[in-house]
Structure 1
Amino acid sequence: MTIHDGAEPPAINPFDRAAISAETRAVNDAFASRLASIPPPADRNALRLAYASGDLSLPVGPRSPRARTLAIEGPGGQIGLRILAPPAPVGAYLHIHGGGWTAGRNDMWDSQLELLGAEAGMAAVSVEYRLAPEHPFPAGLEDCVAAARWLAANARSEFGTSWIAIGGESAGAHLAAATLLRLRDAGSPLFRAANLMYGCFDLSLTPSMRAANQTLVIDRAKVEALVAQFRGAFDVRDPALSPLYADLTGLPPALFSVGTLDPLLDDSLFMHMRWRGAGNASQLAVYPGGVHGFHMLEGQLAREANLSVARFLAHASRRQSDR
Protein backbone atom coordinates (compact mmCIF):
# COMPACT_ATOMS: atom_id res chain seq x y z
CA MET A 1 0.00 0.00 0.00
CA THR A 2 1.21 3.50 -0.79
CA ILE A 3 -0.21 6.63 0.82
CA HIS A 4 0.49 9.78 -1.15
CA ASP A 5 -0.35 13.17 0.30
CA GLY A 6 0.57 14.99 -2.90
CA ALA A 7 3.73 16.57 -1.49
CA GLU A 8 6.19 14.10 -3.03
CA PRO A 9 6.09 10.99 -5.21
CA PRO A 10 5.42 7.64 -3.51
CA ALA A 11 8.52 5.64 -2.59
CA ILE A 12 7.13 2.47 -4.19
CA ASN A 13 5.21 2.44 -7.45
CA PRO A 14 1.95 0.68 -6.54
CA PHE A 15 1.01 0.40 -10.23
CA ASP A 16 3.94 -1.92 -10.97
CA ARG A 17 2.49 -5.42 -11.26
CA ALA A 18 5.54 -6.69 -9.38
CA ALA A 19 4.19 -4.80 -6.34
CA ILE A 20 1.23 -7.21 -6.10
CA SER A 21 1.99 -9.77 -3.39
CA ALA A 22 1.61 -13.50 -3.88
CA GLU A 23 -1.08 -13.51 -1.20
CA THR A 24 -3.11 -10.83 -2.99
CA ARG A 25 -2.84 -12.75 -6.28
CA ALA A 26 -4.12 -15.88 -4.52
CA VAL A 27 -6.98 -13.98 -2.87
CA ASN A 28 -8.00 -12.48 -6.22
CA ASP A 29 -7.84 -15.86 -7.99
CA ALA A 30 -10.02 -17.49 -5.34
CA PHE A 31 -12.46 -14.60 -5.51
CA ALA A 32 -12.64 -14.83 -9.31
CA SER A 33 -13.34 -18.57 -9.12
CA ARG A 34 -16.10 -17.99 -6.61
CA LEU A 35 -17.73 -15.27 -8.71
CA ALA A 36 -17.63 -17.50 -11.80
CA SER A 37 -19.60 -20.18 -9.98
CA ILE A 38 -22.50 -17.91 -8.96
CA PRO A 39 -25.59 -18.11 -11.21
CA PRO A 40 -27.22 -14.80 -12.16
CA PRO A 41 -30.16 -13.83 -9.91
CA ALA A 42 -33.64 -14.30 -11.34
CA ASP A 43 -34.81 -10.76 -10.63
CA ARG A 44 -34.02 -7.57 -8.73
CA ASN A 45 -35.35 -8.84 -5.42
CA ALA A 46 -33.27 -11.99 -5.68
CA LEU A 47 -30.23 -9.90 -6.55
CA ARG A 48 -30.70 -7.69 -3.51
CA LEU A 49 -31.15 -10.66 -1.18
CA ALA A 50 -28.08 -12.40 -2.60
CA TYR A 51 -25.98 -9.23 -2.34
CA ALA A 52 -27.05 -8.58 1.25
CA SER A 53 -26.23 -12.16 2.28
CA GLY A 54 -22.83 -12.20 0.57
CA ASP A 55 -23.94 -14.80 -1.97
CA LEU A 56 -23.71 -12.56 -5.04
CA SER A 57 -20.30 -10.91 -5.04
CA LEU A 58 -18.50 -9.46 -2.02
CA PRO A 59 -18.50 -11.49 1.20
CA VAL A 60 -20.47 -10.18 4.16
CA GLY A 61 -19.27 -10.64 7.72
CA PRO A 62 -21.46 -11.58 10.68
CA ARG A 63 -23.96 -9.08 12.00
CA SER A 64 -22.89 -7.70 15.35
CA PRO A 65 -25.12 -8.48 18.35
CA ARG A 66 -23.99 -5.14 19.78
CA ALA A 67 -25.71 -3.10 17.08
CA ARG A 68 -28.85 -1.14 17.81
CA THR A 69 -31.27 0.37 15.35
CA LEU A 70 -33.09 3.66 15.20
CA ALA A 71 -35.55 5.24 12.79
CA ILE A 72 -35.61 8.95 12.02
CA GLU A 73 -37.92 10.98 9.84
CA GLY A 74 -36.70 11.69 6.33
CA PRO A 75 -38.00 13.38 3.20
CA GLY A 76 -39.52 10.15 1.91
CA GLY A 77 -40.54 8.53 5.18
CA GLN A 78 -38.56 6.88 7.94
CA ILE A 79 -34.82 6.29 7.52
CA GLY A 80 -33.24 3.36 9.32
CA LEU A 81 -29.98 3.90 11.19
CA ARG A 82 -27.75 1.10 12.48
CA ILE A 83 -25.53 2.13 15.38
CA LEU A 84 -22.34 0.50 16.64
CA ALA A 85 -20.66 2.44 19.43
CA PRO A 86 -17.67 1.65 21.64
CA PRO A 87 -17.53 2.84 25.25
CA ALA A 88 -16.80 6.58 25.46
CA PRO A 89 -16.53 7.41 21.73
CA VAL A 90 -14.22 10.23 20.70
CA GLY A 91 -16.14 10.82 17.49
CA ALA A 92 -19.06 9.66 15.39
CA TYR A 93 -18.81 8.35 11.84
CA LEU A 94 -21.73 8.48 9.39
CA HIS A 95 -21.40 5.46 7.11
CA ILE A 96 -23.10 5.23 3.70
CA HIS A 97 -23.08 1.73 2.26
CA GLY A 98 -22.23 0.65 -1.27
CA GLY A 99 -24.21 -1.48 -3.67
CA GLY A 100 -24.35 0.44 -6.92
CA TRP A 101 -27.14 2.72 -5.61
CA THR A 102 -29.56 -0.16 -6.28
CA ALA A 103 -28.72 -2.76 -3.60
CA GLY A 104 -27.14 -3.10 -0.19
CA ARG A 105 -28.22 -2.62 3.40
CA ASN A 106 -26.77 -0.89 6.40
CA ASP A 107 -26.11 -4.16 8.28
CA MET A 108 -23.53 -5.58 5.83
CA TRP A 109 -20.49 -3.71 7.15
CA ASP A 110 -20.47 -4.42 10.88
CA SER A 111 -16.95 -5.89 10.94
CA GLN A 112 -15.41 -2.79 9.36
CA LEU A 113 -17.46 -0.44 11.52
CA GLU A 114 -16.59 -2.26 14.74
CA LEU A 115 -12.93 -1.96 13.79
CA LEU A 116 -13.38 1.81 13.63
CA GLY A 117 -14.77 1.66 17.15
CA ALA A 118 -11.93 -0.47 18.49
CA GLU A 119 -9.06 1.31 16.70
CA ALA A 120 -10.32 4.89 16.37
CA GLY A 121 -12.95 5.26 19.08
CA MET A 122 -15.64 6.00 16.49
CA ALA A 123 -19.33 5.43 17.04
CA ALA A 124 -20.66 4.33 13.65
CA VAL A 125 -24.08 5.27 12.30
CA SER A 126 -24.94 3.48 9.04
CA VAL A 127 -27.76 4.78 6.84
CA GLU A 128 -30.49 2.74 5.15
CA TYR A 129 -31.20 5.09 2.24
CA ARG A 130 -33.75 4.65 -0.55
CA LEU A 131 -32.54 2.63 -3.55
CA ALA A 132 -32.87 3.08 -7.30
CA PRO A 133 -34.54 2.42 -9.67
CA GLU A 134 -37.67 2.73 -7.52
CA HIS A 135 -36.17 5.88 -6.01
CA PRO A 136 -33.78 7.52 -8.50
CA PHE A 137 -31.47 10.42 -7.74
CA PRO A 138 -31.74 12.53 -5.65
CA ALA A 139 -33.89 10.39 -3.30
CA GLY A 140 -31.05 8.37 -1.77
CA LEU A 141 -28.90 11.48 -1.41
CA GLU A 142 -31.70 13.33 0.36
CA ASP A 143 -31.92 10.49 2.90
CA CYS A 144 -28.17 10.70 3.48
CA VAL A 145 -28.37 14.46 3.98
CA ALA A 146 -31.21 13.99 6.48
CA ALA A 147 -29.15 11.40 8.38
CA ALA A 148 -26.15 13.76 8.35
CA ARG A 149 -28.21 16.56 9.84
CA TRP A 150 -29.59 14.19 12.48
CA LEU A 151 -26.10 13.09 13.48
CA ALA A 152 -24.83 16.66 13.68
CA ALA A 153 -27.74 17.58 15.94
CA ASN A 154 -27.60 14.46 18.12
CA ALA A 155 -23.99 13.28 18.29
CA ARG A 156 -23.40 15.00 21.61
CA SER A 157 -26.50 13.59 23.30
CA GLU A 158 -26.17 10.13 21.75
CA PHE A 159 -22.41 9.60 22.00
CA GLY A 160 -20.97 12.36 24.16
CA THR A 161 -18.97 13.90 21.31
CA SER A 162 -19.59 16.57 18.69
CA TRP A 163 -16.72 15.51 16.38
CA ILE A 164 -18.23 13.84 13.30
CA ALA A 165 -16.89 12.29 10.11
CA ILE A 166 -18.52 10.78 7.03
CA GLY A 167 -17.64 8.09 4.54
CA GLY A 168 -18.55 5.07 2.50
CA GLU A 169 -17.51 2.64 -0.19
CA SER A 170 -18.20 2.70 -3.94
CA ALA A 171 -21.70 4.16 -4.39
CA GLY A 172 -21.55 5.05 -0.69
CA ALA A 173 -18.41 7.12 -1.25
CA HIS A 174 -20.19 8.92 -4.09
CA LEU A 175 -23.17 9.69 -1.83
CA ALA A 176 -20.87 10.78 1.01
CA ALA A 177 -19.10 13.29 -1.25
CA ALA A 178 -22.43 14.53 -2.60
CA THR A 179 -23.75 14.89 0.96
CA LEU A 180 -20.79 17.06 1.91
CA LEU A 181 -21.45 19.29 -1.09
CA ARG A 182 -25.14 19.63 -0.22
CA LEU A 183 -24.32 20.58 3.36
CA ARG A 184 -21.64 23.06 2.33
CA ASP A 185 -23.96 24.73 -0.18
CA ALA A 186 -26.58 25.06 2.55
CA GLY A 187 -24.04 26.86 4.73
CA SER A 188 -23.54 24.01 7.19
CA PRO A 189 -20.14 22.30 6.74
CA LEU A 190 -20.73 19.90 9.61
CA PHE A 191 -18.21 17.11 9.07
CA ARG A 192 -14.54 17.17 10.03
CA ALA A 193 -13.16 14.31 7.89
CA ALA A 194 -14.20 12.13 4.94
CA ASN A 195 -13.30 8.50 4.23
CA LEU A 196 -13.98 7.88 0.53
CA MET A 197 -13.20 4.33 -0.57
CA TYR A 198 -13.11 3.47 -4.31
CA GLY A 199 -15.97 5.82 -5.11
CA CYS A 200 -17.65 6.49 -8.44
CA PHE A 201 -17.29 10.26 -8.72
CA ASP A 202 -17.82 10.68 -12.48
CA LEU A 203 -20.99 9.00 -13.69
CA SER A 204 -20.03 9.71 -17.30
CA LEU A 205 -17.18 7.22 -16.58
CA THR A 206 -13.48 7.93 -16.22
CA PRO A 207 -10.96 6.33 -18.61
CA SER A 208 -10.19 3.36 -16.34
CA MET A 209 -13.91 2.62 -16.05
CA ARG A 210 -14.48 2.97 -19.80
CA ALA A 211 -11.69 0.46 -20.45
CA ALA A 212 -13.03 -2.13 -17.99
CA ASN A 213 -14.26 -5.30 -19.67
CA GLN A 214 -15.28 -8.34 -17.59
CA THR A 215 -13.30 -7.13 -14.58
CA LEU A 216 -14.04 -8.53 -11.13
CA VAL A 217 -17.26 -7.33 -9.42
CA ILE A 218 -17.92 -4.41 -11.79
CA ASP A 219 -17.12 -3.51 -15.38
CA ARG A 220 -18.21 -0.84 -17.84
CA ALA A 221 -21.43 -2.57 -18.89
CA LYS A 222 -22.55 -3.13 -15.29
CA VAL A 223 -21.77 0.40 -14.18
CA GLU A 224 -23.50 1.93 -17.20
CA ALA A 225 -26.61 -0.10 -16.34
CA LEU A 226 -26.46 1.01 -12.70
CA VAL A 227 -26.01 4.66 -13.66
CA ALA A 228 -29.01 4.43 -16.00
CA GLN A 229 -31.16 3.19 -13.11
CA PHE A 230 -29.86 5.79 -10.67
CA ARG A 231 -29.42 9.06 -12.59
CA GLY A 232 -33.07 9.99 -13.01
CA ALA A 233 -33.47 13.07 -15.20
CA PHE A 234 -29.97 14.40 -14.47
CA ASP A 235 -27.18 14.73 -17.00
CA VAL A 236 -24.30 12.43 -16.03
CA ARG A 237 -21.89 15.37 -15.85
CA ASP A 238 -24.18 17.55 -13.75
CA PRO A 239 -22.10 18.45 -10.66
CA ALA A 240 -25.05 17.52 -8.48
CA LEU A 241 -24.81 13.95 -9.79
CA SER A 242 -21.07 13.66 -10.49
CA PRO A 243 -19.02 15.29 -7.70
CA LEU A 244 -15.86 15.29 -9.82
CA TYR A 245 -17.32 18.25 -11.75
CA ALA A 246 -18.41 20.22 -8.67
CA ASP A 247 -16.77 23.16 -6.94
CA LEU A 248 -14.90 21.30 -4.19
CA THR A 249 -13.81 24.24 -2.05
CA GLY A 250 -14.53 24.26 1.67
CA LEU A 251 -14.53 20.49 2.24
CA PRO A 252 -12.91 18.53 5.10
CA PRO A 253 -9.70 16.48 4.98
CA ALA A 254 -10.26 13.29 3.01
CA LEU A 255 -8.70 9.86 2.56
CA PHE A 256 -9.21 8.29 -0.87
CA SER A 257 -8.51 4.53 -0.97
CA VAL A 258 -8.51 2.38 -4.12
CA GLY A 259 -6.92 -0.76 -5.54
CA THR A 260 -4.88 -0.75 -8.72
CA LEU A 261 -7.15 -3.37 -10.34
CA ASP A 262 -10.38 -1.50 -9.57
CA PRO A 263 -12.07 -0.06 -12.68
CA LEU A 264 -12.86 3.00 -10.55
CA LEU A 265 -9.15 3.69 -10.05
CA ASP A 266 -9.19 6.94 -12.03
CA ASP A 267 -12.16 8.25 -10.03
CA SER A 268 -10.06 8.25 -6.85
CA LEU A 269 -6.91 9.52 -8.59
CA PHE A 270 -8.77 12.42 -10.20
CA MET A 271 -10.90 13.26 -7.17
CA HIS A 272 -7.88 13.28 -4.85
CA MET A 273 -6.13 15.86 -7.02
CA ARG A 274 -9.25 17.98 -7.51
CA TRP A 275 -9.83 17.87 -3.72
CA ARG A 276 -6.28 19.14 -3.16
CA GLY A 277 -6.56 21.64 -6.00
CA ALA A 278 -9.58 23.17 -4.28
CA GLY A 279 -7.46 23.86 -1.19
CA ASN A 280 -8.52 20.90 0.94
CA ALA A 281 -6.27 18.36 2.67
CA SER A 282 -6.30 14.97 0.96
CA GLN A 283 -4.48 11.65 1.19
CA LEU A 284 -4.48 8.96 -1.47
CA ALA A 285 -3.97 5.29 -0.54
CA VAL A 286 -3.32 3.01 -3.53
CA TYR A 287 -3.28 -0.75 -2.93
CA PRO A 288 -1.37 -2.98 -5.40
CA GLY A 289 -3.66 -5.66 -6.80
CA GLY A 290 -6.73 -4.44 -5.00
CA VAL A 291 -9.96 -5.21 -6.88
CA HIS A 292 -13.28 -3.46 -6.36
CA GLY A 293 -14.34 -4.11 -2.77
CA PHE A 294 -10.96 -5.60 -1.85
CA HIS A 295 -11.14 -4.41 1.75
CA MET A 296 -13.96 -6.90 2.37
CA LEU A 297 -11.83 -9.87 1.25
CA GLU A 298 -9.28 -11.88 3.22
CA GLY A 299 -5.59 -11.11 3.45
CA GLN A 300 -3.10 -8.47 4.46
CA LEU A 301 -4.20 -5.97 1.83
CA ALA A 302 -7.71 -5.77 3.28
CA ARG A 303 -6.38 -5.55 6.82
CA GLU A 304 -4.05 -2.72 5.85
CA ALA A 305 -6.83 -0.78 4.15
CA ASN A 306 -9.25 -1.10 7.06
CA LEU A 307 -6.60 -0.19 9.63
CA SER A 308 -5.50 2.79 7.52
CA VAL A 309 -9.04 4.15 7.57
CA ALA A 310 -9.16 3.77 11.35
CA ARG A 311 -5.78 5.51 11.73
CA PHE A 312 -6.88 8.34 9.45
CA LEU A 313 -10.01 8.98 11.51
CA ALA A 314 -8.17 8.62 14.81
CA HIS A 315 -5.48 11.08 13.71
CA ALA A 316 -8.02 13.55 12.36
CA SER A 317 -10.07 13.49 15.54
CA ARG A 318 -7.00 13.89 17.80
CA ARG A 319 -5.49 16.65 15.70
CA GLN A 320 -8.66 18.69 15.48
CA SER A 321 -9.60 18.13 19.12
CA ASP A 322 -6.22 19.54 20.16
CA ARG A 323 -6.86 22.85 18.41
Structure 2
Amino acid sequence: MTFNEGMQIDPNRASSGGGPGRGGKLALGGGAGGLIVLVLTLLLGGDPGSVLGQFTGAGSDQQTTAGTEGTPEHCKTGADANRYIDCRVVLTAQSLDTVWGAQLPEQTGTRYVAPALRLFSGAVSTGCGNATSEVGPFYCPADQTAYFDTSFFQELTARFGASGGPLAEEYVVAHEVGHHIQTQLGDINRAQNDPKGAESGAVRTELQADCYAGVWAHFADKSPAPGSSQPFLKPLSDTDIKDALSAASAVGDDRIQRAAQGRVNPEAWTHGSSDQRQKWFLAGYKSGQVNACDTYSARSLDNPAGAR
Protein backbone atom coordinates (compact mmCIF):
# COMPACT_ATOMS: atom_id res chain seq x y z
CA MET A 1 0.00 0.00 0.00
CA THR A 2 1.96 2.97 -1.26
CA PHE A 3 1.36 6.66 -0.75
CA ASN A 4 0.41 9.09 -3.48
CA GLU A 5 3.73 10.78 -4.13
CA GLY A 6 2.49 14.35 -3.85
CA MET A 7 1.07 14.02 -0.33
CA GLN A 8 2.65 16.51 2.08
CA ILE A 9 4.11 15.33 5.37
CA ASP A 10 3.31 17.57 8.31
CA PRO A 11 6.61 18.76 9.86
CA ASN A 12 4.86 19.04 13.22
CA ARG A 13 2.99 15.70 13.28
CA ALA A 14 5.77 13.80 15.03
CA SER A 15 8.39 14.51 17.65
CA SER A 16 11.78 12.86 18.06
CA GLY A 17 13.69 12.01 21.20
CA GLY A 18 12.90 11.49 24.88
CA GLY A 19 10.23 12.96 27.08
CA PRO A 20 9.32 13.38 30.75
CA GLY A 21 8.93 10.07 32.53
CA ARG A 22 6.19 10.17 35.14
CA GLY A 23 6.10 6.46 35.92
CA GLY A 24 3.00 4.48 36.83
CA LYS A 25 0.71 2.91 34.27
CA LEU A 26 1.89 0.12 32.02
CA ALA A 27 2.02 0.87 28.33
CA LEU A 28 0.27 -1.33 25.79
CA GLY A 29 2.36 -3.27 23.31
CA GLY A 30 1.70 -3.02 19.62
CA GLY A 31 2.07 -5.19 16.57
CA ALA A 32 4.48 -7.10 18.73
CA GLY A 33 5.10 -4.41 21.30
CA GLY A 34 5.90 -5.63 24.80
CA LEU A 35 4.77 -9.07 23.67
CA ILE A 36 8.16 -9.85 22.16
CA VAL A 37 10.17 -9.43 25.33
CA LEU A 38 7.52 -10.04 27.98
CA VAL A 39 6.14 -13.29 26.58
CA LEU A 40 9.59 -14.72 25.98
CA THR A 41 10.63 -13.72 29.50
CA LEU A 42 7.61 -15.44 31.05
CA LEU A 43 7.99 -18.55 28.92
CA LEU A 44 11.68 -18.95 29.57
CA GLY A 45 11.41 -18.50 33.31
CA GLY A 46 12.77 -14.97 33.58
CA ASP A 47 11.69 -12.19 35.93
CA PRO A 48 8.85 -10.19 34.33
CA GLY A 49 9.63 -7.35 36.72
CA SER A 50 12.87 -6.74 34.87
CA VAL A 51 10.86 -6.15 31.72
CA LEU A 52 8.02 -4.22 33.30
CA GLY A 53 10.58 -1.99 34.97
CA GLN A 54 11.27 -0.57 31.54
CA PHE A 55 7.76 0.86 31.65
CA THR A 56 7.63 1.96 35.27
CA GLY A 57 11.04 3.54 35.51
CA ALA A 58 12.09 1.03 38.16
CA GLY A 59 15.78 0.31 38.26
CA SER A 60 16.51 1.58 34.77
CA ASP A 61 19.97 2.96 34.02
CA GLN A 62 19.30 3.23 30.28
CA GLN A 63 20.21 6.45 28.52
CA THR A 64 17.12 8.08 27.09
CA THR A 65 17.28 9.84 23.79
CA ALA A 66 17.39 13.59 24.15
CA GLY A 67 15.52 16.42 22.51
CA THR A 68 12.04 16.96 21.18
CA GLU A 69 12.65 17.66 17.52
CA GLY A 70 9.79 17.44 15.04
CA THR A 71 9.22 15.20 12.03
CA PRO A 72 12.60 14.18 10.51
CA GLU A 73 13.74 16.79 8.02
CA HIS A 74 14.03 14.35 5.10
CA CYS A 75 10.31 13.56 5.38
CA LYS A 76 8.57 15.96 2.98
CA THR A 77 6.23 14.07 0.63
CA GLY A 78 4.52 10.79 -0.06
CA ALA A 79 7.50 9.81 -2.19
CA ASP A 80 9.67 10.04 0.94
CA ALA A 81 7.14 7.93 2.84
CA ASN A 82 7.43 5.27 0.15
CA ARG A 83 11.22 5.31 0.55
CA TYR A 84 11.89 5.79 4.28
CA ILE A 85 10.25 3.93 7.16
CA ASP A 86 10.27 6.89 9.58
CA CYS A 87 8.49 9.05 6.98
CA ARG A 88 6.03 6.21 6.39
CA VAL A 89 5.16 6.10 10.09
CA VAL A 90 4.42 9.83 10.15
CA LEU A 91 2.33 9.90 6.97
CA THR A 92 0.44 6.80 8.11
CA ALA A 93 -0.44 8.69 11.28
CA GLN A 94 -1.74 11.56 9.16
CA SER A 95 -3.88 9.11 7.19
CA LEU A 96 -5.19 7.66 10.44
CA ASP A 97 -6.05 11.18 11.65
CA THR A 98 -8.08 11.78 8.51
CA VAL A 99 -9.96 8.47 8.69
CA TRP A 100 -10.67 8.53 12.42
CA GLY A 101 -11.37 12.26 12.39
CA ALA A 102 -14.36 11.47 10.18
CA GLN A 103 -15.36 7.97 11.27
CA LEU A 104 -15.11 8.17 15.07
CA PRO A 105 -17.66 10.99 15.48
CA GLU A 106 -19.87 9.62 12.70
CA GLN A 107 -19.99 6.10 14.08
CA THR A 108 -19.71 6.68 17.84
CA GLY A 109 -20.49 10.35 18.49
CA THR A 110 -17.03 10.82 20.01
CA ARG A 111 -14.78 13.58 18.69
CA TYR A 112 -11.41 12.29 17.57
CA VAL A 113 -8.37 13.83 19.25
CA ALA A 114 -5.15 12.82 17.52
CA PRO A 115 -2.57 11.00 19.65
CA ALA A 116 0.95 12.35 19.89
CA LEU A 117 3.56 10.50 17.84
CA ARG A 118 7.18 10.07 18.89
CA LEU A 119 10.08 8.51 17.02
CA PHE A 120 13.02 7.39 19.14
CA SER A 121 16.16 5.32 18.99
CA GLY A 122 17.53 3.11 21.74
CA ALA A 123 15.45 4.25 24.70
CA VAL A 124 12.87 6.83 25.63
CA SER A 125 11.26 8.29 28.73
CA THR A 126 7.46 8.32 28.57
CA GLY A 127 4.40 9.04 30.65
CA CYS A 128 4.36 5.32 31.44
CA GLY A 129 8.02 5.23 32.50
CA ASN A 130 11.24 4.37 30.69
CA ALA A 131 11.22 2.02 27.70
CA THR A 132 13.87 0.57 25.42
CA SER A 133 13.77 -0.48 21.79
CA GLU A 134 13.46 -4.11 22.91
CA VAL A 135 9.82 -3.50 23.75
CA GLY A 136 8.91 -2.63 20.16
CA PRO A 137 6.26 -0.06 19.22
CA PHE A 138 3.83 0.79 22.01
CA TYR A 139 1.10 3.16 23.08
CA CYS A 140 1.16 4.92 26.45
CA PRO A 141 -2.31 5.87 27.75
CA ALA A 142 -0.84 8.18 30.39
CA ASP A 143 0.52 10.65 27.81
CA GLN A 144 -1.67 9.45 24.89
CA THR A 145 1.39 8.95 22.72
CA ALA A 146 2.38 6.22 20.27
CA TYR A 147 6.11 5.44 20.34
CA PHE A 148 8.14 3.92 17.50
CA ASP A 149 11.74 2.88 17.13
CA THR A 150 11.66 2.15 13.42
CA SER A 151 14.36 -0.51 13.69
CA PHE A 152 11.53 -2.74 14.96
CA PHE A 153 10.21 -3.17 11.44
CA GLN A 154 13.40 -4.95 10.41
CA GLU A 155 12.87 -7.28 13.38
CA LEU A 156 9.30 -7.92 12.29
CA THR A 157 10.64 -9.34 9.04
CA ALA A 158 13.92 -10.91 10.14
CA ARG A 159 12.89 -12.45 13.48
CA PHE A 160 9.16 -12.95 13.14
CA GLY A 161 8.78 -13.77 9.46
CA ALA A 162 6.41 -11.01 8.35
CA SER A 163 6.44 -10.27 4.63
CA GLY A 164 7.82 -6.76 5.12
CA GLY A 165 5.53 -4.94 2.66
CA PRO A 166 4.39 -1.36 3.33
CA LEU A 167 0.98 -2.31 4.71
CA ALA A 168 2.65 -4.65 7.19
CA GLU A 169 4.41 -1.62 8.65
CA GLU A 170 1.37 0.64 8.36
CA TYR A 171 -0.71 -2.00 10.15
CA VAL A 172 1.55 -1.68 13.20
CA VAL A 173 1.05 2.09 13.29
CA ALA A 174 -2.70 1.64 12.86
CA HIS A 175 -2.76 -0.91 15.69
CA GLU A 176 -1.11 1.55 18.09
CA VAL A 177 -3.56 4.29 17.14
CA GLY A 178 -6.24 1.65 17.70
CA HIS A 179 -5.20 1.66 21.36
CA HIS A 180 -5.70 5.43 21.34
CA ILE A 181 -9.24 4.93 20.00
CA GLN A 182 -9.81 2.59 22.94
CA THR A 183 -8.59 5.32 25.27
CA GLN A 184 -11.06 7.78 23.78
CA LEU A 185 -13.92 5.27 24.04
CA GLY A 186 -13.04 4.31 27.62
CA ASP A 187 -12.00 0.69 27.01
CA ILE A 188 -8.26 0.82 27.48
CA ASN A 189 -8.21 -0.27 31.14
CA ARG A 190 -9.91 -3.57 30.37
CA ALA A 191 -6.51 -4.99 29.43
CA GLN A 192 -4.97 -4.34 32.84
CA ASN A 193 -8.04 -5.51 34.76
CA ASP A 194 -7.80 -8.96 33.15
CA PRO A 195 -4.21 -9.27 31.91
CA LYS A 196 -3.65 -12.86 30.77
CA GLY A 197 -5.39 -15.85 29.17
CA ALA A 198 -6.99 -16.85 25.89
CA GLU A 199 -10.30 -15.11 26.73
CA SER A 200 -8.79 -12.31 28.82
CA GLY A 201 -9.43 -8.61 28.64
CA ALA A 202 -5.84 -8.17 27.46
CA VAL A 203 -6.38 -10.43 24.45
CA ARG A 204 -9.73 -8.80 23.66
CA THR A 205 -8.12 -5.36 23.86
CA GLU A 206 -5.31 -6.31 21.47
CA LEU A 207 -7.66 -7.99 19.01
CA GLN A 208 -9.89 -4.93 19.04
CA ALA A 209 -6.87 -2.76 18.17
CA ASP A 210 -6.21 -5.14 15.25
CA CYS A 211 -9.83 -4.69 14.16
CA TYR A 212 -9.54 -0.91 14.40
CA ALA A 213 -6.45 -1.15 12.18
CA GLY A 214 -8.67 -2.94 9.69
CA VAL A 215 -11.29 -0.18 9.89
CA TRP A 216 -8.58 2.32 8.96
CA ALA A 217 -7.46 0.15 6.03
CA HIS A 218 -11.06 0.04 4.78
CA PHE A 219 -11.13 3.83 4.39
CA ALA A 220 -7.42 4.64 3.86
CA ASP A 221 -7.49 4.52 0.07
CA LYS A 222 -10.86 6.31 -0.14
CA SER A 223 -10.78 9.25 2.32
CA PRO A 224 -9.35 12.42 0.68
CA ALA A 225 -6.45 14.05 2.46
CA PRO A 226 -7.15 17.54 3.86
CA GLY A 227 -7.00 20.09 1.06
CA SER A 228 -6.77 17.41 -1.62
CA SER A 229 -9.09 15.36 -3.78
CA GLN A 230 -6.77 12.36 -3.40
CA PRO A 231 -6.49 10.01 -0.44
CA PHE A 232 -3.10 9.60 1.21
CA LEU A 233 -2.77 6.06 -0.10
CA LYS A 234 -3.13 4.40 -3.46
CA PRO A 235 -5.79 1.65 -3.82
CA LEU A 236 -5.20 -1.46 -1.78
CA SER A 237 -4.16 -4.60 -3.63
CA ASP A 238 -4.52 -8.23 -2.60
CA THR A 239 -0.78 -8.22 -1.95
CA ASP A 240 -1.19 -5.31 0.48
CA ILE A 241 -3.79 -7.21 2.48
CA LYS A 242 -1.56 -10.29 2.53
CA ASP A 243 1.26 -8.12 3.92
CA ALA A 244 -0.94 -6.86 6.74
CA LEU A 245 -2.17 -10.36 7.53
CA SER A 246 1.43 -11.59 7.50
CA ALA A 247 2.36 -9.00 10.13
CA ALA A 248 -0.66 -9.88 12.27
CA SER A 249 0.16 -13.57 12.02
CA ALA A 250 3.84 -13.06 12.82
CA VAL A 251 3.12 -11.67 16.28
CA GLY A 252 0.41 -14.07 17.41
CA ASP A 253 0.92 -15.51 20.89
CA ASP A 254 0.79 -19.09 19.64
CA ARG A 255 3.42 -18.52 16.98
CA ILE A 256 5.81 -16.79 19.37
CA GLN A 257 5.30 -19.43 22.06
CA ARG A 258 5.89 -22.26 19.62
CA ALA A 259 9.10 -20.65 18.42
CA ALA A 260 10.30 -20.03 21.99
CA GLN A 261 9.46 -23.34 23.64
CA GLY A 262 7.98 -25.67 21.04
CA ARG A 263 4.49 -25.67 22.52
CA VAL A 264 1.49 -23.39 22.96
CA ASN A 265 0.10 -22.27 26.33
CA PRO A 266 -3.13 -20.27 25.88
CA GLU A 267 -3.27 -19.48 29.60
CA ALA A 268 -0.30 -17.15 29.09
CA TRP A 269 -1.72 -15.33 26.07
CA THR A 270 -1.82 -11.54 26.07
CA HIS A 271 -2.43 -10.66 22.40
CA GLY A 272 -4.32 -13.56 20.77
CA SER A 273 -3.40 -16.23 18.28
CA SER A 274 -2.10 -15.60 14.78
CA ASP A 275 -5.41 -16.73 13.31
CA GLN A 276 -7.42 -14.49 15.63
CA ARG A 277 -5.31 -11.43 14.87
CA GLN A 278 -5.78 -11.93 11.15
CA LYS A 279 -9.53 -12.52 11.47
CA TRP A 280 -10.16 -9.42 13.58
CA PHE A 281 -8.14 -7.25 11.20
CA LEU A 282 -10.31 -8.59 8.38
CA ALA A 283 -13.48 -7.95 10.40
CA GLY A 284 -12.59 -4.28 10.53
CA TYR A 285 -11.31 -4.13 6.97
CA LYS A 286 -14.33 -5.76 5.35
CA SER A 287 -16.95 -3.85 7.35
CA GLY A 288 -15.34 -0.47 8.04
CA GLN A 289 -17.47 -0.42 11.18
CA VAL A 290 -16.42 0.24 14.76
CA ASN A 291 -19.25 -1.93 16.06
CA ALA A 292 -17.77 -4.90 14.17
CA CYS A 293 -14.82 -4.65 16.59
CA ASP A 294 -16.68 -5.39 19.84
CA THR A 295 -14.33 -8.11 21.02
CA TYR A 296 -15.52 -7.71 24.61
CA SER A 297 -19.00 -8.99 23.78
CA ALA A 298 -17.88 -11.61 21.27
CA ARG A 299 -18.87 -15.14 22.24
CA SER A 300 -16.04 -16.55 20.13
CA LEU A 301 -12.79 -14.73 19.44
CA ASP A 302 -12.12 -17.29 16.71
CA ASN A 303 -15.08 -16.27 14.55
CA PRO A 304 -15.73 -12.53 14.35
CA ALA A 305 -18.86 -11.96 12.28
CA GLY A 306 -17.34 -9.26 10.06
CA ALA A 307 -14.45 -11.46 8.91
CA ARG A 308 -16.65 -13.91 7.03
Give me the TM-score of the superposition, normalised by structure 1. Answer: 0.31
Higher-helix-fraction structure = 2
Normalized against structure 2, the TM-score is what? 0.32
